[in-house]
């Protein structure tokens, strides 16, 4: 296992980042296969049901996404301090939270699904099929949430190749079972849900096996240490509030885009895929920042922390520039592949410059998120997200009525600029505080 004492090189950054980027590539592929296999049933309702059910579960599971980030930060600091017992305890605590959260979702599935379908209703056939899908997949809730914790712990230990293995296994098995259950056995929507459930269950088994050395080190006194539990609750609570605010901002963007007309809504949906690509790519460098900063904080090594921040920022900036250039050169061709409607293509071309600029505008916020998570400076993250969302709301009020969809995209860019500026101004003080006892 690497530690903060291991030389921090460009190669070490890439050994963390590259598998994360590759594992992210498999996520949209699975969604495309899910849609494609139910599309072979020759009806619209199954496609809508799978899409609706997947969104409902993704929203519920996402509420517990703090386990991935919080576990990475806390475990990386334990690694940096050389405290293997605490590192194991961090994993154990996160798995307990995951188990309780998953069990709660299973127990509360009836009211949760009723509420979700009331908020986002579909036709009678779509809702019936979505209920079938949800009733199967919800049993995977403990596994899915536990995998957030497992992935976070593996990333903290610089075992991102194990994260890649997990994703390839789960998504690959899911795709194979999709084809067998739906096209081979004719199970329809239930087949898609069953394939995902099996993939999640086996993924949890594989993840626990990959973490077996850490699990073997868990000791009850450390696992239930009150101070550590309070710190975990504080860190994860801050991250959860921050993430809810950020998701709320993106949701408002989608809803307000719908008010610009069907063509603009479709164009925005096409262009949002460019943002997803940006996130998938830059996540690798943000995760590297989480790991290496966390280890430096655990070791109280200011020199290692500064170098981790600098190298992560350099590669993040290089990645953002490459994405911007790629979008500028290939954007029109990608739009042409994604939609054949002439009016949607024309609208997407009109707003494409915002997506070319987006990686360059947003990279600071992505990398700084990684730095703050590694430092577990989550209170500051929460406060600055409140400020950023408030500025975004003000930008919407000023820009949307005057500039329409251009104003909407401009407000989203303002959100990311504000996130980067506010976190960037705080970082020097945070870095000094978390490495107060300096070693070199």
Q: Distance between CA atoms of 264 and 98, rounded to whole angstroms?
A: 39
At 184, list the tokens.
């081979």
Q: Which of 136-150, 266-280, 417-431 has the lowest mean pLDDT?
A: 266-280
**Tens digit of pLDDT for each residue in 167-187?**
999 989 998 998 899 888 988
pLDDT of residue 260: 78
Q: Distance between CA atoms of 228 and 75, rounded to whole angstroms?
A: 12
Judge whether residue 3 has pLDDT over 60.
Answer: no
Contacts 24+ apart (CB under 8 A), 265-268: 266/339, 266/341, 266/344, 266/347, 267/344, 267/347, 267/348, 267/350, 267/351, 267/405, 268/351, 268/405, 268/408
DSSP notation for 263-327: HHHHHHHHHHHHHHHHHHHHHHHHHHHHHHHHHHHHTTBHHHHHHHHHHHHHHHHHHHHHHHHHH
At 386, list the tokens.
């409140």
Query: Mean pLDDT of all residues in the chain?
Result: 89
At 336, list the tokens.
């042409």
Determine contact, residues 137/95, Cβ cutoff 8 Å. Answer: no
- SS3 of 133-196: HHHHHHHHHHHHHHHHHHHHHHHHCCCHHHHHHHHHHHHHHHHHHHHHHHHHCCCCHHHHHHHH
**Tens digit of pLDDT for each residue in 372-391?**
999 999 999 999 999 999 99
Read off the pLDDT of each residue in 128-157 and give the average, rounded to a whole number. Answer: 93
At 7, list the tokens.
């030389």
Element (H, E) at 357: helix 342-374
CB atoms within 10 A of CB 100: 12
Judge whether residue 4 has pLDDT over 70.
Answer: no
At 243, list the tokens.
């993430």
- Is 261 in a helix, a strand, or coil? coil
CB atoms within 10 A of CB 224: 13
Q: Predicted confidence band at 439 (pLDDT cuts at 50, 70, 90)? A: very low
Question: Over the Cα atoms of the chain, what is R_g?
Answer: 22
At 362, list the tokens.
């947003």
Read off the pLDDT of each residue in 238-267 and give the average, rounded to a whole number. Answer: 84
Judge whether residue 2 has pLDDT over 70.
Answer: no
pLDDT of residue 399: 96
Element (H, E) at 223: helix 220-223
Q: Predicted confidence band at 289 (pLDDT cuts at 50, 70, 90)? A: very high
pLDDT of residue 120: 67
Q: Distance between CA atoms of 55 and 49, rounded to whole angstroms?
A: 10
C-alpha 278, offset from chain centre: 12
Nearest CA to 125 out of 52, 186, 185, 75 is that of 52
| Placement of tokens 């739009």 in the chain | 335
Angle between the N-to-C axes of helices 342-374 and 405-434, in degrees from 0 to 180, rounded to the nearest 10: 10
pLDDT of residue 386: 97
At 232, list the tokens.
């975990």
| Placement of tokens 């998120």 in the chain | 369
**Tens digit of pLDDT for each residue in 65-76?**
899 999 999 999
Q: What percent of the chain has pLDDT over 90?
A: 65
**Tens digit of pLDDT for each residue in 292-351?**
999 999 999 999 999 999 999 999 999 999 999 999 999 999 888 777 778 888 988 999
CB atoms within 10 A of CB 1: 12
Partners of 439 in beta bridges: 301
- Is 186 in a helix, a strand, or coil? coil
Q: Distance between CA atoms of 244 and 267, rounded to whole angstroms?
A: 26
Determine contact, residues 308/375, Cβ cutoff 8 Å. Answer: no
- Is 21 in a helix, a strand, or coil? helix
What phi, psi does 301 have (nearest 5°)?
-110, 95
CB atoms within 10 A of CB 102: 21
Read off the pLDDT of each residue in 363-370 and give the average, rounded to a whole number. Answer: 95
- Is 432 in a helix, a strand, or coil? helix
pLDDT of residue 440: 40
**Tens digit of pLDDT for each residue in 171-228?**
899 989 988 998 889 888 889 899 999 999 999 999 999 999 999 999 999 999 999 9
- The CA-atom distances, in angstroms, between 129 and each of 17, 45, 123, 153 are 39, 8, 10, 36
At 144, list the tokens.
């899915």
pLDDT of residue 19: 93
């Amino acid at each position: 296992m690497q530690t903060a004492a291991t030389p921090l090189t460009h190669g070490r950054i890439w050994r963390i980042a590259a598998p994360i980027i590759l594992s992210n590539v498999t996520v949209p592929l699975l969604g495309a296969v899910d849609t494609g296999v139910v599309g072979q049933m020759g009806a619209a309702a199954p496609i809508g049901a799978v899409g609706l059910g997947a969104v409902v579960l993704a929203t519920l599971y996402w509420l517990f996404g703090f386990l991935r980030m919080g576990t990475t930060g806390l475990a990386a600091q334990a690694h940096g301090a050389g405290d293997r017992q605490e590192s194991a305890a961090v994993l154990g605590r996160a798995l307990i939270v995951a188990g309780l959260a998953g069990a709660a979702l299973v127990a509360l599935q009836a009211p949760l699904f009723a509420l979700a379908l009331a908020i986002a209703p579909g036709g009678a056939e779509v809702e019936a099929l979505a209920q079938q899908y949800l009733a199967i997949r919800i049993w995977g809730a403990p596994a899915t949430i536990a995998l957030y914790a497992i992935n976070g712990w593996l990333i903290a230990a610089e075992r991102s190749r194990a994260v890649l293995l997990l994703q390839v296994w789960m998504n690959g098995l899911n795709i194979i079972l999709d084809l067998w259950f739906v096209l081979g056995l004719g199970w329809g929507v239930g087949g898609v849900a069953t394939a995902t459930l099996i993939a999640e269950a086996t993924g949890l088994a594989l993840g626990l096996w990959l973490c077996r050395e850490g699990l073997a080190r868990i000791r009850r006194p450390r696992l239930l240490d009150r101070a550590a539990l309070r710190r975990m609750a504080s860190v994860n609570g801050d991250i959860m509030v921050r993430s809810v605010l950020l998701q709320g901002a993106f949701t408002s963007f989608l809803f307000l885009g719908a008010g610009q007309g069907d063509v603009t809504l479709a164009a925005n949906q096409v262009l949002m895929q460019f943002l997803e690509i940006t996130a998938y790519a830059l996540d690798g460098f943000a995760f590297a920042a989480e790991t290496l900063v966390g280890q430096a904080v655990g070791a109280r090594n200011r020199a290692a922390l500064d170098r981790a921040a600098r190298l992560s920022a350099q590669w993040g900036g290089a990645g953002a520039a490459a994405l911007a250039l790629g979008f500028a050169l290939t954007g029109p061709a990608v739009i042409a592949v994604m939609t054949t409607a002439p009016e949607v293509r024309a609208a997407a071309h009109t707003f494409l410059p915002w997506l070319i600029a987006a990686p360059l505008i947003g990279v600071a916020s992505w990398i700084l998120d990684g730095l703050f998570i590694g430092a577990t400076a989550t209170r500051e993250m929460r406060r600055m997200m409140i400020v950023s969302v408030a500025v975004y709301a003000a930008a919407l009020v000023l820009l949307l009525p005057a500039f329409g969809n251009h104003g909407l995209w401009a407000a989203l860019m303002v959100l990311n600029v504000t996130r980067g500026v506010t976190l960037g101004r705080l970082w020097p003080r945070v870095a000094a505080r978390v490495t107060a006892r300096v070693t070199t």
